[in-house]
Amino acid sequence: MKNTKGSLEYLHISNKAAEAKITLQGAHIFHFQPKGQAPLLWVSESASFEKGKAIRGGIPVCWPWFGPHPTDTTLPNHGFARTSLWQHIKTEEVNQNETKVMLGLNSSEASLELWPYHFELRLEVSIGAELRVTLITKNMDTKAFTITDALHTYLAVDDISTVYVDGLDQKDYYDKTEDSFNNIQEGRLFFSQETDRIYQRITSTLSVHDQNRCIRVQTEGSQTVVIWNPGEALAQTMPDLSDYKTMLCVESANALNDAPLIKPNESHRITTVISTG
């Protein structure tokens, strides 16, 4: 166990295929780098690594709601999991090229004040040539509950103006910048301004084409993917976002109508798999 510059404890995993760093606060993966390659995850140079504050970059866990709380905007944006202290359950060396880590978060008096349900949350991380991250929600309550969530992945890119995404053609999306539904993607997605879209019916792998590499993002357990880059104007209002040109969020999510109902003693899994093509 090591400490970040803001004294957050984190796990540092290294094997023959890759290395990763995961803070216990938020079960937050803030570094993943296959050997011989540049890091795949972006973290802001001005990100806060302090207790109780969300880290700008890596893979924040948004749970049990995505974005603002649907009825009470005084509650934490993107839920409370990303700023809660998780437990390190185990680390397993599968072989020289793969390491598995499991972290857990259970309901508590503090969580029940924010969200009135008993739950068991697990994050399973497989670190190897690819990064596989699975968030498992188990309902430990006597009544069913509905969640929205996201593995809010920030990918590292060279220059957003030259990046495009394949795999979205003819998919419908909600455009948050215009608050408009029923938009249809035509061809590749390019970035020339602020982009904040929730794409639906996504079942195939998305390809993020950068100047020197292609990053692939595969989603399991949902059909919703959020694509976000703040653009210049919005980025200037965000003090913890250092350079919008070198990041792109491609988030595996359950959002909008893709909000699973989880019955007592049942579980839901959402997975993102990140690799280079």
Three-class DSSP labels, the chain: CEECCCCCEEEEEECCCEEEEEECECCEEEEEEECCCCCCECECCCCCCCCCCCCCECECEEECCCCCCCCCCCCCCCECHHHCECEEEEEEEEECCEEEEEEEEECCHHHHHHCCCCEEEEEEEEECCCEEEEEEEEECCCCCEECCEEECCEEECCCHHHCEEECCCCCEEEECCCCEEEEECCCCEECCCCEEEEEECCCCCEEEECCCCEEEEEEECCCEEEEEECHHHHHCCCCCCCCHHHEEEEEEEECCCCCCEECCCCEEEEEEEEEEC
Q: Would residue 120 show up in a list of annotated catalytic residues for this protein?
A: no
Q: Per the residue annotation, which of 88, 98, 251, 266 is the catalytic one?
A: 251
pLDDT of 82 reads 97
pLDDT of 277 reads 76
pLDDT of 1 reads 65
pLDDT of 27 reads 98
Q: Would residue 152 show up in a list of annotated catalytic residues for this protein?
A: yes
pLDDT of 201 reads 93
pLDDT of 70 reads 87
Structural domains of the chain in order of their starting residue, each with its CATH number: 2-276 (2.70.98.10)
The predicted model scores a pTM of: 0.96
pLDDT of 268 reads 98
- pLDDT tens track, the chain, 277 positions: 667 766 899 999 999 999 999 999 999 999 999 999 999 999 999 998 999 999 999 999 999 999 999 899 899 999 999 999 999 999 999 999 999 999 999 999 999 999 999 999 999 999 999 999 999 999 999 999 999 999 999 999 999 999 999 999 999 999 999 999 999 999 999 999 999 999 999 999 999 999 989 999 999 999 999 999 999 999 999 999 989 999 999 999 999 999 999 999 999 999 999 999 7
pLDDT of 3 reads 75
Q: Per the residue annotation, which of 152, 209, 220, 266 is the catalytic one?
A: 152
